[in-house]
Amino acid sequence: MGRGTGRGPRPRAGLAPLDGPLRFLLLSSFLIPLGSFMVLPFMSVFLHERLGMGLGTVGVVLAVASLVQFSGGIAGGALSDRIGLRRTMLWALIVRASWICSGSVAMAAAGRHSP
């Protein structure tokens, strides 16, 4: 048997063949969900206390939002097989960023006109 450290492959070794823009897209694809899940607990408070939604409705809204976010990975995987990883990640980040911007504007407007 060959000598090894017994730890398996180094995590960064898999990133070595990726160039700068692809590394940026990969990092961004991790940061966007991280930010979303950091905001998710505060969304329930905002929707319930500030906008007056019932807790059941808040639960459904947040569950659907999480389901859509996770199920997008299945569609993204199929799409990346067809058009390539880089193009899929770029389009996904553009779509996600536009949804975040439009959602932020809608939340600001809703907060301003809340009861």
Token pair for 1: 């048997």
Name the stretches of the chain with pLDDT < 50: 1
Token pair for 32: 């966007």
Q: Is 6 left (phi over 0), alpha (psi -120 to 50) or beta?
A: left
- What is the C-alpha to C-alpha distance for residues 58 and 49, in angstroms, rounded to an integer? 10
pLDDT at res. 56 = 95
What one-character-per-residue DSSP string does 57-68 give? HHHHHHHHHHHH
pLDDT at res. 14 = 63
Backbone φ, ψ for residue 52 (5° rounding): 75, 20
